[in-house]
Amino acid sequence: MVKKVAIIGAGPSGLLLAHYLLRRGDKYQIDIYERRSDPRIISFSKSRTYPISLNERGMSALRKIEGLEEAVKAISVSMRGTIFHQKNGKTRFTPRKKPLTTLDRTKLAIALLKLTENYDKSRLNIHFNCQCTSIDFAAKKLKLQLETQEDFTIDYDLLIGADGGRSVVREHFLATEDFECQQKYVPNDYKSIFLPRPDENSGIHLEKGKIHSWMLKDGTFVVLLHQRDETMGGVVLFLHNKNQIASFSTTEEVLQFFQKNFPEVAQLMPKEEAEAFLNRPVSRILTVRCSRYHQDASVLLIGDAAHAVSSSIGQGCNAALEDVVLLDNLLNEYSDDLAVALEQFTVRRKQDAHALVELGDNAFPSTTGLFIEFVLRESLANILHQIFPKHFPPSISELVFETTVPYSEILNSYKGWISKVKKSNEKLSANL
C-alpha cells in the first residue's frame, strides 16, 4: 500500500529526502509543508540566508539524484582554502586539498525545488506558507495553519520533522516517554553581510576561490565568500552578551565599527549595505542533542531538527544531507519496514550526531590565544601524518572538511584537544 508521507520543512534535508523517497518506486506519496513562501517566486530575504560550504559528505548525498550535483555546481563557487587576514595587513593561507563547494543556503533549496518539478503532482505536493502547529502522534494527525490563519488537519503514515533547529515536531517528542533533549545556544550570534562586487579602484583585492576571514581578540569574526555573480556574502559572528554589533543604532556606527576593526571590509561596504546591516536581525544559533530521533514506526527527525550544530564547524547541512542517505540505506536494508528502519536510524546516527555537536562546540577555538596553538597543531598534524600516516591522523580540519570519516571517530582522535578548548570556552562563558 502507498504510504502517505508528510515532511515538515522545505529546507535542504526535507527536500533531498523527498527526492530519495520518490526514487523508491511508487511506495510513497509525499506532501511537504513549509511555513515560508516559495523561494522560486518570492525573492528571498537576505536576513534569513548565508553561504554554506559543502564537502564530500553533503556532495555525495546530492550526487545520487540525477542532475542535482550539476545543478548545485552551476550556482556554486569552489573554494580552495581560507585566507586569515591579520590586523597588520598580513595574511595567512590555509589550503584545502579538496575544494569546498559553497553557495547560499536558499539557493541550494531552490536547486532542490526546481528538480522536484520533474515529478508527477500525484506523488509530490509542496505547500508553502503552511506551518505545522500541532501533532497528535497517537492518532497520526497534524494541524497546519495557512497565512490566512485558517487551520486544517491531515493524517499521515510517516511524519518527517525536517523543520530545523527550532523544530515543532521535536517539541512534540518532549511529551513522549523516555525522550531527552538538550538545547543550548552557542555563545556567538550572527548577522549576514553582503558586499557588492569589489570596485577595481578600491585598492582592496580579495582573491577569488578562497574564503576570507578576519578575527578580533574578543572573538568577533567576519567570514566573506565570493558569490557566483562576484558579489560577496558572509556572516559576522560575535559574542551574544558582550558585543556592540547588536546595539548599533545608526549607519555611522556600523561604518565606524568596520573602519576601526575590519578596514578592508569597510572599504567594500557602501552606505546602503551599512544601513541594511543595521536593520538585519541578530540571529542566534541553537545546538541540539536528542536521545532518539524516531517515535514508533511513524515519526522521524532529520537534519537540524535532530542535531542542530554550531555554524563554526560548517557541517550542519552536510550532516543533514548525510541523514537522508542513511535513511535511504536503512529502507533498502529493511525493505521499507518503517518500524525497524526508523529505530535503526537512531541506533546508527546518535553517536555521530552527538559527536558532531561536541566538535561544533569545541573543535575550533573562539579566542585568539588558543587559535594560534590551533594553527600550530594543524601544521604539525599535517607533517606528522605525511611522514607516519599509520600513527598520526590527519589534522582535525582535514578530517572534518575533506574526508567522510565519521564524526565520532574524529572526536575520539582529538579528545585531548577538544577538552582543552572546552575548558577555555567554559572559562570564557563564565566571564561573560
Ligand X SMILES: Cc1cc2nc3c(=O)[nH]c(=O)nc-3n(C[C@H](O)[C@H](O)[C@H](O)COP(=O)(O)OP(=O)(O)OC[C@H]3O[C@@H](n4cnc5c(N)ncnc54)[C@H](O)[C@@H]3O)c2cc1C
Smallest gap from residue 199 Cβ to ligand X (A): 26
Choose, by CB under 6 A, the member of 239, 255, 274, 317 that binds ligand X: 317
Q: How many CA atoms lie within 13 A of 95 on its CB side?
A: 3
Of all helices (H) and strands (E), which one includes residue 332? helix 316-333
Smallest gap from residue 387 Cβ to ligand X (A): 31
Does 131 bind ligand X (CB under 6 A)? Our answer is yes
| Spatial CB neighbours of 181, under 8 Å, sequence gap ≥ 6 | 170, 173, 174, 288, 289, 290, 291
Burial class (CB in 10 A: 0-12, 13-18, 19+), 200: exposed
Axis crossing angle, helix 316-333 with helix 56-63, rounded to the nearest 10:
50
Does 360 bind ligand X (CB under 6 A)? Our answer is no
Choose, by CB under 6 A, the member of 5, 6, 11, 104 that binds ligand X: 11
What is the C-alpha to C-alpha distance for residues 25 and 142, in angstroms, rounded to an integer? Answer: 26
Smallest gap from residue 392 Cβ to ligand X (A): 27
Binding mask 170-209 for ligand X (x = CB under 6 A): --------------------x-------------------
Does 400 bind ligand X (CB under 6 A)? Our answer is no
What is the C-alpha to C-alpha distance for residues 357 and 354, in angstroms, rounded to an integer? Answer: 5
Strands (E), 266-409: 283-290, 294-295, 299-301
Smallest gap from residue 303 Cβ to ligand X (A): 2
* Piece of 49-57, 62-70, 257-265, 339-347 that binds ligand X (CB under 6 A): 49-57
* Piece of 159-167, 193-201, 266-274, 400-408 that binds ligand X (CB under 6 A): 159-167
Does 280 bind ligand X (CB under 6 A)? Our answer is no
- CB nearer ligand X, residue 320 or residue 363: 320
| Binding positions for ligand X, 331-350, rule CB under 6 A | none
Number of H helices, E strands in the chain: 15, 17
Smallest gap from residue 187 Cβ to ligand X (A): 14
Axis crossing angle, helix 271-279 with helix 251-261, rounded to the nearest 10:
110
Does 164 bind ligand X (CB under 6 A)? Our answer is yes
Per-residue CA distances from 262 to 36, 89, 218, 254, 255 (Å): 34, 10, 13, 11, 10
**Nearest CA to 214 among 260, 181, 177?**
260
* Piece of 47-55, 147-155, 253-261, 288-296 that binds ligand X (CB under 6 A): 47-55
Does 366 bind ligand X (CB under 6 A)? Our answer is no
CB burial string 144-177: b at 16+ within 10 A, e below? bbeeeeeeeebebbbbbbbbbbebbbbebbeeee
Does 163 bind ligand X (CB under 6 A)? Our answer is yes
Choose, by CB under 6 A, the member of 18, 49, 50, 62 that binds ligand X: 50
Summarize as ranges the residues that interact with ligand X (CB under 6 A): 8-14, 33-36, 50, 52-53, 105, 131-132, 162-164, 168, 190, 235, 285, 303-304, 311, 314-318, 320
